[in-house]
Amino acid sequence: MTVPVRVRFAPSPTGLLHIGNARTAVFNYLYALRHHGTLILRIEDTDIERSAEMYTDRIMEDLQWLGIHWQEGPDRGGDEGPYLQSQRLSLYQDYAERLNREGHVYKCFCSNERLEALRQQQLSKGTMPRYDGRCRSLSKDDVTQLESSGQQPVLRFHVKGPPVIFDDLVHGRMNFDPSGIGDFILVRSDGMAAYNFACVIDDHAMHVTHVIRGEDHLSNTPRQVLVYRALGWEPPAFAHHPLILGPDRSPLSKRHGVTAVSHYREEGFLPEALLNYLVLLGWTPPTGQEIFSQEEITDVFSIESVSRSAPVFSRQKLEWLNSHYLRQKSDVELSGLLAPYLAKGGLAPDRIDPAYLARVAGALKENLVLLSEAEGYLGIFFDEKFLFHEEANALLRDGAHRETLRGILLVFGRTPTITEDGWPSFLSRLAKETGRKGKALYAPLRAAATGMMKGPELVKTLPLLGRERIIKRIEMALEAAGNG
């Protein structure tokens, strides 16, 4: 009988959702979808000092924005809850007492100062730092005396037994010698379960079948397998994907730019573009295809095909994908996505004619890489934001360009109406009747009509501005240049 696939994404609410953690969430989500399984969202908030409910809310908000849906979690409940580790402390305590009774753990009273001195001594000798087992030999009387003096011990797992061997779905057969691990902490002195303990208890209790996470956890896995072994449980399957690197091939961090999903969201990246890009980081589909719908990704994604080599983050590639997805939006869809950026730019979207806003979105579509870039073009289409940018002013001070604008005004004067479809032919008339063509004609026209030297195509922009508004702006341009 096949066991239903159950995976989990288990972030710590100590900060905003990092782009690397979001990739782990995406891999888990796609694996669950591919195998018709269950995705669990578990919040690992046992770091009381650094955890905050605000971050839990932000993490869930960013996951939902990305299009990741979980079936069990703190907001949805489920049969294996609660899904906040801070609400599962009694469960950890029960298993810690069982391991103590069965002789798998012992109390350790070593101070932080001693442990640091031990670590430095081992490093100076070129050996891997690990606990030396000093408190393992304490007698019951020794433990009683130390506790009576007010010292709070940690609970350490006694590492022993044969090598830890498991098959990683990404890295293949892994073999760890227990002698190189050292006795590790299961319960901290404040009574809180350590990561390698709480993680095992929760994954077993929640019937997790596959643990998909970053390879920074690969060194934790043998410790967790030892706990599984001590409790007589079968470990889940493990898959440790490589971490994302920055352009300098060091782990992606703030020095490489923004790393939080919420920051990409605020900049105006689309969730489907970011999800698509995260999947491609370290995984190449058999067909070489780069742009997918979520359904297509689900059909072809395989965690076993993720490369062992760490991928390098490319903002340029992400922006390329985003611009593609923006161009695929209908004008109406895009106008809805632009609304928050109009508001940020000082406009009230609900007071703008929706049909006009959709046409503005259509005109901008080819020029946008990020939604937030729309703010820079608002002055073209909305008079209250209109101004002449410095580059446009510099061009308009040129006498030849002012002469071109006066010629353009004359043609407008001889053309009392211009139909919606008549602008291409009107531009041809401008070239013929002013004797200007190419940049000599369109650069001053763009500068005067839009206040900018770049932007959407004039053939799309001018109909949105209309004859009267263009004439008024040309007259303003000439006046500002001292030739009104």
Q: Which of the residues 107, 140, 160, 254 is marked catalytic?
A: 254
For the chain, residues with pLDDT lower than 70 are 1, 481-484
Residue 246 corresponds to which amino acid? Answer: G
Q: Which residues contact 445 (CB under 8 A, 6 or more apart)?
A: 404, 405, 408, 430, 458
Copy the structure tokens of residue 179: 């002698």
- Reference 457, options 468, 467, 445; nearest CA is 445
Rounded to the nearest 5 degrees, what angle is found at the Cα of 196, between the Cα atoms of 194 and 202? 95
Do the domains 6-85+245-305 and 387-480 sit in the same CATH topology, yes or no?
no
Q: Which residues contact 185 (CB under 8 A, 6 or more apart)?
A: 108, 154, 155, 156, 157, 194
Q: How is domain 6-85+245-305 classified at the CATH fold level?
A: Rossmann fold (3.40.50)
Residue 300 corresponds to which amino acid? Answer: V
The sign of the torsion formed by the CA atoms of 457, 463, 466, 467 equals positive
pLDDT recorded at residue 256: 82
pLDDT recorded at residue 189: 93
Contact at 8 Å (CB) between 330 and 294? Answer: no
Q: How is domain 88-241 classified at the CATH fold level?
A: Rossmann fold (3.40.50)
Burial pattern 54-86, b for ≥16 Cβ within 10 A else e, equals ebbebbbebbebbebebebbbeeebebbebbbe
- Reference 52, options 96, 16, 80, 77; nearest CA is 16
Question: What is the DSSP code (8-state) at residue 372?
Answer: G
* 156, β-bridge pairs: 106, 185
- Reference 89, options 231, 202, 204, 13; nearest CA is 202
CA distance 298 to 255: 33
156 φ, ψ to 5°?
-105, 145
From the options 3.90.230.10, 1.10.10.350, 3.90.1150.10, 3.30.420.40, give the CATH code of 387-480: 1.10.10.350
Q: Which residues contact 155 (CB under 8 A, 6 or more apart)?
A: 96, 100, 105, 106, 107, 108, 185, 186, 187
CA distance 275 to 150: 52
Domain positions in the chain are 6-85+245-305, 88-241, 329-384, 387-480
- pLDDT tens figures, 330-340: 999 999 999 99
Contact at 8 Å (CB) between 5 and 247? Answer: no
Copy the structure tokens of residue 367: 């020029």
pLDDT recorded at residue 2: 78
Query: Which residue in this structure is represented by tokens 């996505």?
Result: 337
Q: Does an H or E element contain 274, and which?
A: helix 271-280
Prior bond of 82 cis (ω within 30°): yes
Copy the structure tokens of residue 310: 């760490």
Contact at 8 Å (CB) between 252 and 245? Answer: yes
Q: Find the helix packing angle between 19-34 and 271-280, rounded to 10°.
A: 80
pLDDT recorded at residue 288: 84
Identify whether 472 is a catalytic site residue: no
Contact at 8 Å (CB) between 209 and 4? Answer: yes
Radius of gyration of the chain (CA): 31
